[in-house]
Amino acid sequence: MTRFPFTEAMPIQFQAPLPKDAEVVIIGGGIIGVTTALFLARRNISVTLLEKGRIAGEQSSRNWGWIRQQGRDADELPIVIEAQRLWRQLAEECGEDIGLKQTGVTYLARTDKEMAGFAKFLKIAEMHGVDTRLLDQGETARLIPSMSRPFKGAMTTPSDMRAEPWVAVPALARLAARQGVTIIENCAARMLDISAGRISGVWTEQGRIVTSNVVVASGAWTSLFLRAHGVSIPQLSVRSTVAATQPMPEIHSGAVADEHIAFRRRQDGGYTLASGGSSQLYVGPDAFRHARKYVPALMANPLGIRYLPAAPRGYPDSWSTPRKWNADEESPFERIRILDPAPKASALRDIDREFTALFPQFKTVPLKASWAGMIDAMPDVVPIVDRAAEIPGLVIATGMSGHGFGIGPGMGRVVSDLVQGNETGHSLHRFRQSRFSDGSPIELGPSL
Ligand X SMILES: Cc1cc2nc3c(=O)[nH]c(=O)nc-3n(C[C@H](O)[C@H](O)[C@H](O)COP(=O)(O)OP(=O)(O)OC[C@H]3O[C@@H](n4cnc5c(N)ncnc54)[C@H](O)[C@@H]3O)c2cc1C
3-state secondary structure (DSSP) of residue 55:
coil
Instruction: Supply the minimum distance, in Å, between the C-beta of residue 337 and ligand X.
Output: 7
Cβ-based nearer residue to ligand X, 94 or 188: 188
Distance of alpha carbon 255 from alpha carbon 76, whole angstroms: 20
Residue 242 interacts with ligand X (CB under 6 A): yes or no: yes
Instruction: Supply the minimum distance, in Å, between the C-beta of residue 165 and ligand X.
Output: 7
Residue 402 interacts with ligand X (CB under 6 A): yes or no: yes
* Beta carbons of 222 and 374 less than 8 angstroms apart: no
Cβ-based nearer residue to ligand X, 76 or 114: 76
**Binders in 367-386 for ligand X, by CB under 6 A:** 373, 375
Stretch that binds ligand X, among 215-223, 243-251, 352-360, 437-445 (CB under 6 A): 215-223
CA distances for 403 relative to 19, 31, 63, 67, 253, angstroms: 33, 11, 9, 8, 20
Distance of alpha carbon 398 from alpha carbon 218, whole angstroms: 7
**Binders in 99-158 for ligand X, by CB under 6 A:** none
Cβ-based nearer residue to ligand X, 141 or 259: 259
The binding track of 12-41 with respect to ligand X, each residue x by CB under 6 A or -, is: ---------------xxxxxxx--------
119, containing H or E segment: helix 112-127
How do 306-308 and 279-282 pair as beta strands? parallel
413 closest CA partner among 4, 26, 82: 82
How many residues interact with ligand X (rule CB under 6 A)? 40
Residue 265 interacts with ligand X (CB under 6 A): yes or no: no
82 closest CA partner among 416, 411, 417, 398: 411
Cβ-based nearer residue to ligand X, 59 or 416: 59
Instruction: Supply the minimum distance, in Å, between the C-beta of residue 95 and ligand X.
Output: 22
The binding track of 53-92 with respect to ligand X, each residue x by CB under 6 A or -, is: x---xxxx-xxxxx--------------------------
Instruction: Supply the minimum distance, in Å, between the C-beta of residue 355 and ligand X.
Output: 16
Phi, psi (rounded to 5 degrees) for 136: -90, -175
Residue 170 interacts with ligand X (CB under 6 A): yes or no: no
Instruction: Supply the minimum distance, in Å, between the C-beta of residue 372 and ligand X.
Output: 7
187-215 burial string, b = 16+ CB within 10 Å, else e? Answer: bbbbbbbbeeeebebbbbbeebbebbbbb
Residue type, 391: I
**Binders in 321-340 for ligand X, by CB under 6 A:** 333
Distance of alpha carbon 169 from alpha carbon 347, whole angstroms: 26
Residue 182 interacts with ligand X (CB under 6 A): yes or no: no
Binding region for ligand X (CB under 6 A): 27-33, 50-53, 57-60, 62-66, 188-189, 217-221, 225, 240, 242, 333, 373, 375, 398, 400, 402-406
